Amino acid sequence: MNVAVCVKQIPDPATPGKLDPSTKTLVREGKLILDDSDAYGVEMALQLVDKAGGGEVTLVSMAPNSEVSGLRTALAMGAHKAILVSDDALKGSDALTTAKVLAAAIQRAGADLILAATESTDGYTGTTPVQVAELLGLPSVTFAKHIEVDGSTVKVNRQTEAGFDEVECPLPCLVTVTAGVVEPRYPSFKGIMAAKGKPVEELKAADLGVEVAVGQQVTDVAPAEERQAGEVVVDEGDAHERIVQFLEQLKVI
């Protein structure tokens, strides 16, 4: 079984984000890292391919400046190869354009199953995976908290507002995973060394036949209304009393 995993390389979430004042798009300079949310899909793919007794895990990613740092992390976990689409023409592209690029890359790779995170940590639009599925004419199951493949069917426990649904879907299809679907491994030293030699195919949008047309623009950036810090109490064994008092004032108790 061959699995394609959509992965995003993002600025480290630990460092504050910035918008470019002239283009009003996210500054994505410096080293990008593998989005934590994507480690779950990579791990799931590795386990499913292993269980199926063979096959390949292909990463597909779109990133500026031929960025591969995040891809190397996922390759070090065990993914076999990657397709990276890096093209200045794609700067500031919206989720649908991204989906067109990823869908074309997945088609090139060929896959029985496509995995993605439910949403990225930086942009968190959460629509790209389903747009990819629609562009490929495939069914999709979002918000998976458990995945099993049984022959040509994928069985998913899908998170819902009230609990979860057991969903069955024929392959090929796309599944988005939540954190906790599986515990991602840490890359081993051997994996890190091996990752350096794994193939990363770099493409432009035009190589995939994708036309870039962006139908939405950021028009304005402004600071939000600040919320002020209030009273701070250092606990000396009785701070709970202050909380009780506070809740009483608010008539919550």
Partner 1 sequence: MAFQKVWVVAEAFEGKPLSATLELLTKARELGATVEAWCWGGDVEAYAAGLGEYGASKVYSVGDVGGVLPGVPVAAAMAEAVNGGNKPDAVLFSTGYDPRDIAGRLSAKLNVGVLSNVVGLAEDGTSEHAVFGGTTVVRAAFSGDTPYLYLVRPKSFAAEPGGGGAATVETVSVPDAGAANGAKIVQRHVEERTGPKLDEAAVVVSGGRGLGEAEKFSMIEELAKLLKGAPGASRAIVDAGWVPYSYQVGQTGKTVKPTVYIACGISGATQHMVGMKGSKNIVAINKDQEAPIFSIADLGIVGDVHKVLPKLLDALKNRS
Site for partner 1 in 70-99 (CB under 8 A): 94-96, 99
Please report how close the Cβ of residue 181 comes to partner 1 at its closest, in angstroms: 10
Query: Least distance to partner 1 from the beta carbon of 199, Å?
Result: 29
Give the other-Cβ count within 10 Å of 121's Cβ: 15
Structure tokens of 29?
């300079």
* CA 107 to chain CA mean position, Å: 19
- Closest distance between partner 1 and the C-beta of residue 62, in Å? 16
- CA angle centred on 179, ends 67 and 101, rounded to 5°: 40
Residue 214 exposure: Cα atoms within 13 Å on the Cβ side: 12
Task: Evaluate whether 31 touches 66 at the Cβ level (below 8 Å).
Answer: no
Kindly identify the residues of this chain, within the stretch 105-164, that bind partner 1 according to CB under 8 A: 118-119, 121, 124-131, 133-135, 137-143, 145, 158-164
Supply the minimum distance, in Å, between the C-beta of residue 76 and partner 1. 20
Residues 222-241 that bind partner 1 (CB under 8 A): 222-224, 227-235, 237, 239-241
Rule CB under 8 A: which of 157-196 touch partner 1?
158-170, 173, 178-180, 183
- Residue 31: CB minimum distance to partner 1, A: 20
Out of 13, 30, 110, 199, the only residue in the binding site for partner 1 (CB under 8 A) is: 13
Rounded to an integer, what distance in angstroms lies between the CA atom of residue 36 and that of residue 124? Answer: 13
169 or 194, CB closer to partner 1?
169
- Are 41 and 47 a contacting pair, CB within 8 Å? no
Lookup: tokens for 107 = 């088609």
7 or 82, CB closer to partner 1?
7
Say how far apart CA 72 and CA 168 lie, in whole Å. 33
Give whichever of 87 and 94 is closer to partner 1, judged by the CB atom. 94
Site membership for partner 1, residue 19 (CB under 8 A): yes
Q: Cα angle at 203 between 140 and 45, to 5 degrees?
A: 35
Gyration radius (Cα) of the chain, Å? 21
Nearer to partner 1, 88 or 225 (CB): 225
Q: Which is nearer to partner 1, 54 or 215 (CB)?
A: 215
Which of residues 29 and 241 has its CB atom nearest to partner 1 in the complex? 241
Nearer to partner 1 (CB atom), residue 193 or residue 239: 239
The C-alpha torsion from 184 through 191 and 68 to 178, rounded to 10°, is -10
CA distance 97 to 85: 12
Q: Is 23 in the site for partner 1 (CB under 8 A)?
A: no
Query: Segment 194-223, which members bind partner 1 (CB under 8 A)?
Result: 213-223
